[in-house]
């Protein structure tokens, strides 16, 4: 039975009900998850300290997922982000420890390097017409090789200054963990960019219909490159903050953020909109994953269950996103 035949057999009421489900299922799932964990573990889960810890632990995943959202909004995929973040963590630690660069200088260099990697990804995709999956996976593999070449596969630990550690571990404002503040600033800035600026309208237009955007006078290639550059900069910031949190530069430290970021982005596309990718949705998606992991940890679930949970969440996320698009087009 074809998709079109299935849609014709649905009554208007059924379509409306499915539309509501597709839009609000993620938020409802988050609320039910919090309620269930609160009832099952009333002393450990529903506390301010635990909620703060969840946000703090998830903040880096939210930052890298926020950058990925921009690449996905313009209609592309960036599979290099986890590998890039790992490389940036190694490089920033090496610049500070081995090259004795001031911390602000090292951070600025790494952010610029993240933008450069994003630019390379964007040029390969737009000018060489290489599929973004192949292009960014290839670039990510190269970045992994560069990380091993720079560190010889050995974590850079000795000599990391306390001031660098305090970037992630400190609480400089009202006792709020710094990483939460960085996350709010990044996601807030990305939301404003996409939802409240003229260039944000161009970003959404390119993602919605590149051909129509080009006819409207929008430089599609430039916008796509911008999406990759922002994704690269967010990966760089994530790598810096992760190295600060761990107190070391490790070649594969951020690799796992790739799957988490994609799960958050696709969950987000099923939140409040009909299969459209957006920054606020990504935030909600990341919260679902974070609270799920937190609940599993509190109840002492084995490590393998986290991988099962994350994989299942990704499948559900893509399914809900596809459902939202199908209903929007029906």
- What mean pLDDT comes out for the span 101-129? 98
Please state, in angstroms and rounded to a whole number, the distance separating the CA atoms of residues 164 and 58: 20
Half-sphere exposure of 64 (CA within 13 A, CB side): 33
Residue pLDDT, tens place only, 271-311: 877 678 999 999 999 999 999 999 988 888 887 887 788 78
**Residue 65 or residue 300, greater confidence:** 65
Tell me, what's the pLDDT at 9? 64
Q: For residues 114-128, b (16+ Cβ closer than 10 Å) or e, as one string?
A: bbebbebbbbbbbee
Q: Which of 94-108, 138-152, 163-177, 261-275 has the lowest mean pLDDT?
A: 261-275
Tokens (6 digits) for 280: 């606020």
Work out the angle at residue 265's Cα, subtended by the Cα atoms of residues 264 and 266, and round it to the nearest 5 degrees. Answer: 95
- Measured on CA atoms in the order 199, 205, 210, 214, is the torsion positive or negative? negative
- pLDDT over 70, % of the chain: 92
Please state, in angstroms and rounded to a whole number, the distance separating the CA atoms of residues 206 and 217: 11
Please state, in angstroms and rounded to a whole number, the distance separating the CA atoms of residues 44 and 64: 28
Tell me, what's the pLDDT at 20? 73
Tokens (6 digits) for 26: 């993620």
Enumerate residues 6+ apart whose C-beta is below 8 A from 125: 76, 131, 132, 135, 136, 224, 228
Please state, in angstroms and rounded to a whole number, the distance separating the CA atoms of residues 194 and 268: 15
CA–chain centroid gap for 215, Å, is 31
327 falls in which pLDDT band (50, 70, 90)? Answer: low
Please state, in angstroms and rounded to a whole number, the distance separating the CA atoms of residues 118 and 132: 12
Q: Full-prediction pTM beyond 0.85?
A: yes
210 falls in which pLDDT band (50, 70, 90)? Answer: very high
325 falls in which pLDDT band (50, 70, 90)? Answer: low
**C-beta separation of 244 from 167 below 8 A:** yes
Enumerate residues 6+ apart whose C-beta is below 8 A from 35: none
pLDDT at 1 over 50: no
Q: Which of 18-27, 28-37, 251-260, 268-277 has the lowest mean pLDDT?
A: 18-27
SS3 230: helix
321 falls in which pLDDT band (50, 70, 90)? Answer: low
Helix (H) or strand (E) holding 250: none
SS3 173: strand
């Amino acid at each position: 039975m074809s998709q079109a035949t299935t849609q014709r057999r649905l009554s208007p009421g059924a379509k409306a009900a499915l539309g509501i489900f597709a839009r609000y299922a993620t938020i409802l799932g988050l609320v039910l998850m919090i309620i269930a964990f609160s009832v099952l573990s009333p002393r450990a889960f529903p506390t301010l300290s635990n909620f703060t810890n969840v946000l703090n632990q998830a903040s880096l995943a939210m930052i890298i997922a926020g950058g990925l959202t921009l690449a996905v909004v313009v209609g592309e995929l960036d599979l290099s982000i986890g590998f890039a973040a790992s490389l940036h963590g190694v490089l920033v630690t090496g610049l500070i420890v081995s090259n004795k660069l001031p911390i602000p200088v090292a951070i600025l260099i790494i952010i610029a390097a993240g933008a450069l990697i994003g630019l390379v990804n964007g040029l390969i995709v737009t000018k060489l017409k290489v599929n973004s999956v192949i292009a960014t996976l290839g670039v990510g593999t190269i970045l992994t090789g560069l990380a091993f070449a720079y560190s010889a596969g050995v974590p850079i630990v000795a000599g990391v200054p306390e001031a660098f550690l305090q970037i992630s571990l400190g609480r400089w404002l009202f006792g709020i963990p710094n990483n939460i503040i960085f996350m709010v600033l990044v996601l807030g800035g990305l939301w404003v960019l996409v939802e409240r600026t003229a260039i944000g309208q161009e970003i959404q237009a390119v993602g919605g219909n590149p051909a129509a955007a080009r006819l409207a006078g929008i430089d599609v290639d430039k916008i796509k490159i911008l999406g990759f550059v922002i994704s690269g900069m967010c990966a760089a910031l994530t790598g810096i903050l992760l190295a600060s949190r761990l107190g070391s530069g490790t070649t594969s430290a951020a690799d796992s953020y790739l799957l988490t970021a994609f799960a958050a982005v696709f969950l987000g596309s099923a939140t409040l909109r009909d299969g459209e990718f957006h920054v606020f949705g990504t935030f909600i998606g990341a919260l679902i994953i974070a609270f799920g992991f937190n609940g599993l940890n509190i109840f002492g679930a084995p490590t393998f269950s986290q991988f099962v949970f994350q994989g299942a969440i990704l499948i559900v996320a893509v399914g809900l996103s596809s459902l939202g698009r199908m209903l929007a087009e029906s």
